[in-house]
Amino acid sequence: MKSIHIQSESDYQNAVAKWKKSPDDFWADIANAYTWLKPWNKVVEADFPKADFKWFLGGKLNITLNALDRHVEAHPDKTAILWEPNNPKDPHLEISYKDLLKRVSKMAHAMKAQGIEKGDRVCLYMPMIPELAVAVLACARIGAVHSVVFAGFSAQSLADRIQDSHCKLVITSDELKRGGKIVGIKNIVDQALESCPSVTSVLVAQSTGASIPMQNGRDHWLEEVQKNQADFIEAEEMDSEDPLFILYTSGSTGKPKGVVHTCGGYMVYAGYSFLNVFQVGKEDVYWCTADIGWITGHTYIVYGPLLAGATTTMFEGVPTWPDAGRFWAICEKHKINQFYTAPTAIRALMAKGDEFVDAYPLKDLKVIGSVGEPINEEAWVWYHEKVGKKNCPVVDTWWQTETGGIMISALGDVGPQKPTFAGRPLPGVDPILVDNEGNLIEENNQEGLLCIRSPWPSMIRTTYGDHQRCINTYFSAYKGYYFTGDGAKRDADGHYRIIGRVDDVINVSGHRFGTAEIENAIDEHPEVVESAVVGFPHDIKGQGIYAYVILSKKPENQERLREEIQSELVKAIGPIAKPDAIQFVSGLPKTRSGKIMRRILRKVASGESDQLGDTSTLLDPEVVEEIISGSKHFVS
């Protein structure tokens, strides 16, 4: 892919100048590096207040022609996916571009055999096995819309997501391996499907080979359905603005929403951002440790690297099993050149001791990346010194499910290396800071709310089934801009530091939760009258979950009740949503109009109850005293 490749400071400046002169020409040049079945006739149409965005209008394409066929022609035997299994004693797999296209074609035929057609939604609830990447691409190949649900979510969460987008088919596996644990995920699918009438078939991949119940007529072994299928399938012709996928993410209110990305713009931006941020050379081996269940896995395990014709690594296991050196052992084994992970993993491994990383020279690493949450200085320095051995630039990449691709980051070693600063926008990205009233903050060295002023190709198109929600959430707060929900600081040189969410979203180990969805789950417990949830600083997870809970009667056994509330959350969302602290209170700090003052709860949870600020508008100030005195036992 030729695209625009930025390899020096002057390349960066030239690209920015080119974009400022003519955004259309800038994006057209990037898009021209791809194969189109029919060229587009207009680069972009954008209406911010209506959240109506169209890119590469009239263009026809299939993203898999660019991610697979093009490379099958140019370098058929190059490894496309390098798969490392959960257990280091099991063999790894190297899937060439040629083989990947065959696997994708067979899977696509298998999906068609279940009646799946262009536009149908397919839910993927799978471990990090090659079949997951293959299923993603097979959907794209036939124009089905994939909705990947992270396989740590509960049956209830899975059902919510399947129902919201009326999926017809679910692809899953018998079981899932995660370190020393086995999870029966087909079981979870069975539970979820009790309330999902839209699903007519389930394809089950074999991961552990366990014998599991299969529902007659509905469930089929993937292997069997694929066996006699042809190993090529024509790519469906897609319009630039046809949906490519839905990915659910949490916001401040209501249930998680399905963020919709479309074929043309997403393809263009995924390839462009991958190429420039990671600077992956022809012979390089790239590894992103995310799960494909999150946007990072979509864009930077599957689509971005494959669009660029790179070798992308997929890891089934966890960083701490069999020991805390697993990541580094894999880097060494596969001579990884670009490594991309999350601050929470860095902090967790840092806490295990340097000996695990010091044991590996990691000489092949060239670029190391971070994503998902702010990286604190200590973790940044450790990552740079211990993993990068002071030789690799750290790309601290800021972006979101909604942005589709990396928006602010250094580009390899182009751009500042300033711990805790994500840096400058990618050329073509137009971040701004505004104050609470939406006034533009033009000076540097200021903090504000991070918005994006110009459209970019991989921006969210809608929230599935409810466009008004998309308008309300992202395009209404500050007219004419996309509002990110993050606060940020811009330094004297125009580099951005992301401070964190300014809305009721908590970022726990890089996973987004809305406080409302956690509260709703807690309120399901029969003895709970009301709850309020806030985030607080956590050494490993970045933020922890702190729940204040009002009960209908004095509990006989507080510990048991805490466990029951935890189980409600595991049931409603999944183990990743377990609170770190649950405090029983007799009331919550509310204003006279009945609004919970979360600011106070946040301060108490963070151990800053001496900085509560003005509490004079509270209905019942005494409740604050009680909360402060009861809080001490829960947060260290």
Residues that bind ligand PRX (CB under 6 A): 249, 295-296, 371-374, 396-401, 422, 484-486, 498, 500-501, 507, 512
Angle between helices 263-278 and 23-31 (to 10 degrees): 90
CB-nearer residue toward ligand PRX: 294 or 548: 294
Query: Least distance to ligand PRX from the beta carbon of 606, Å?
Result: 17
> Are 56 and 35 a contacting pair, CB within 8 Å?
no
- DSSP bridge pairs for 182: 177
Residues for the chain: how many in total?
636
Strands 285-288 and 60-61: unpaired
CB-nearer residue toward ligand PRX: 201 or 507: 507
**Nearest of 179, 176, 168 to residue 206 by alpha carbon:** 176
CB-nearer residue toward ligand PRX: 76 or 419: 419
269 φ/ψ angles, rounded to the nearest 5 degrees: -75, -35
CB-nearer residue toward ligand PRX: 101 or 518: 518
CB-nearer residue toward ligand PRX: 124 or 561: 124
Query: Least distance to ligand PRX from the beta carbon of 315, Å?
Result: 17
CB-nearer residue toward ligand PRX: 170 or 371: 371
Query: Least distance to ligand PRX from the beta carbon of 374, Å?
Result: 4
Query: Least distance to ligand PRX from the beta carbon of 408, Å?
Result: 8
> What tokens were used for 566?
């935890």
How far, CA to CA in Å, does 526 sit from each of 51, 518, 534, 554, 577?
41, 15, 22, 13, 19
How far apart are alpha carbons 108 and 102 in whole angstroms? 10
CB-nearer residue toward ligand PRX: 96 or 401: 401
**Dihedral in degrees, nearest 10, Cα atoms 435, 493, 475, 439:** 30
634 φ/ψ angles, rounded to the nearest 5 degrees: -105, -25
Query: Least distance to ligand PRX from the beta carbon of 54, Å?
Result: 23
Query: Least distance to ligand PRX from the beta carbon of 505, Å?
Result: 7
CB-nearer residue toward ligand PRX: 451 or 565: 451
- DSSP bridge pairs for 482: 452
How far apart are alpha carbons 434 and 472 in whole angstroms? 18
> Are 338 and 284 a contacting pair, CB within 8 Å?
yes
Report how far Cα 348 is from the mean position of its chain's Cα atoms: 19
CB-nearer residue toward ligand PRX: 59 or 510: 510
How far apart are alpha carbons 23 and 121 in whole angstroms? 33
Q: Three-state DSSP class for 392?
A: coil
Query: Least distance to ligand PRX from the beta carbon of 432, Å?
Result: 16
Query: Least distance to ligand PRX from the beta carbon of 287, Å?
Result: 16
**Nearest of 58, 26, 43 to residue 240 by alpha carbon:** 58
Query: Least distance to ligand PRX from the beta carbon of 249, Å?
Result: 5
DSSP letter for 42, please. E
Query: Least distance to ligand PRX from the beta carbon of 599, Å?
Result: 19
Query: Least distance to ligand PRX from the beta carbon of 535, Å?
Result: 11
CB-nearer residue toward ligand PRX: 484 or 531: 484
313 φ/ψ angles, rounded to the nearest 5 degrees: -100, 140
83 φ/ψ angles, rounded to the nearest 5 degrees: -110, 125
> Are 266 and 402 a contacting pair, CB within 8 Å?
no
The three-state DSSP-derived secondary structure of 184-250 is: CHHHHHHHHHCCCCCCCEEEEECCCCCCCCCCCCCEEEHHHHHHCCCCCCCCCCEECCCEEEEEEEC
> Are 203 and 220 a contacting pair, CB within 8 Å?
yes
CB-nearer residue toward ligand PRX: 324 or 411: 411
CB-nearer residue toward ligand PRX: 309 or 423: 423
Query: Least distance to ligand PRX from the beta carbon of 121, Å?
Result: 20
CB-nearer residue toward ligand PRX: 303 or 398: 398
How far apart are alpha carbons 294 and 288 in whole angstroms? 12
Write down the H helix ranges in 56-144: 63-64, 70-74, 97-113, 130-142
Query: Least distance to ligand PRX from the beta carbon of 520, Å?
Result: 20
